[in-house]
Chain A
Amino acid sequence: MKNNFLLRATELLTGLLFGLGLMASGMTDPGKVIGFLDLFGTWDPSLALVMGGAIMVGVFAFAVAKKRTTTFLGGVMRVPTSTHLDKRLVLGSLMFGAGWGLAGFCPGPAMVSMADGQPKALLFVVAMLVGMWGFELMERFVHAPRQAKLKAG
């Protein structure tokens, strides 16, 4: 019970911290994101520093996480183990990158910008949720039955 409260509080604070980091770094400004992706125009390298700063800290955290089997609170450590490279990973990422380049929003910054009262960010988030849900439905009603059929056949 006490642990559960601690977990919810940590999640809330981590979400807040993450949102603040996105705002401070400039990720919530699509103009800045597109300025970074615009290699052939006047290039704004800021986002390379965002990634660099985040990974600089992340490398240490994940090095510690990999050596442990439980979290600091004694919970399950869910570090992904898959190393399988497939079509889904590449095609999905290409689609994501195209959308990212078109609007300058990725999921986190779009939702923070929506909470900041930007109407276009709200529109983006609604479309994104429709896309995510659409994917979920395709998985369940098209992909999964097809896989089952292939296995049975």
Chain B
Amino acid sequence: MNLDWAHFTPWASLAGGVVLGLASAIFILINGRILGISGIVGGLLPPKRGDSAWRLAFLLGMFAAPAVFHALMPAQYITVPRIDASEWLIVVAGLLVGVGTRYASGCTSGHGVCGLSRLSPRSLVATGSFMGAGFLTVALVRHVI
């Protein structure tokens, strides 16, 4: 196995991860909720009375992140995202992620971060499954097809 040293960002990724953990900590300890993006969004489709304000407040804050990030970070720390998939592939992927995360009741945040943090067997199985499927998909797309 070769490591991609050119793109490896240990400190930024670790620090970013700690921030994600802090956000999850605040959400459970102050708001009493699991910070899971697919659940927060999925609960708005369709919106239910009395169960939407908190979801919208969270999403609004999240949507403000890029503007704040660009304002705070020096330009050399901001990298341009590499989105290589074609439009068609993006649509197929989006559909799979939408259906799959609702079917499994969680995604990278709810199962991956919160679930593993609270040692949930369900989340361990979910995370193992989506990571496994991710590894396999990239192996197929990059090295077989």
A-side residues, CB < 8 A to B, are 7-32, 34-35, 37-47, 49-62, 64-66, 70-73, 75-80, 82-85, 88-108, 110-113, 115-118, 120-121, 123-136
Contact = CB atoms under 8 A, between A and B. Distances in A.
Contacts of A51: 17, 112-113, 116
A120 B85 contact: yes
A102 B10 contact: no
> Which 3 A-B pairs rank lowest in CB-CB distance, beginning with the nearest?
A131-B98, A25-B16, A19-B65
A93 to B, nearest CB: 4
A94 B66 contact: no
A5 to B, nearest CB: 11
B69 A15 contact: no
A131 B93 CA distance: 10
Interface of A is mostly: helix
B49 interface: no
B65 A39 contact: no
Contacts of A44: 3-4, 7-8
Nearest to A131: B98
A20 B68 contact: yes
Interface of B: 1-4, 7-10, 12-35, 37-38, 41-42, 45-46, 53-54, 57-69, 73, 79, 81-85, 87, 89-105, 107-109, 111-114, 116-122, 125-127, 129-139, 141-143
Residue in B17, B45, B79, B87 with the greatest tally of chain A CB atoms within 10 Å? B17
A85 B128 CA distance: 13
A55 B116 contact: yes
B37 A107 contact: yes
A117 B33 CA distance: 29
A104 B83 contact: yes
A58 B91 contact: no
A19 B66 contact: yes
Contact of B41 (A11, A43, A64, A132): A132
A14 B50 CA distance: 20
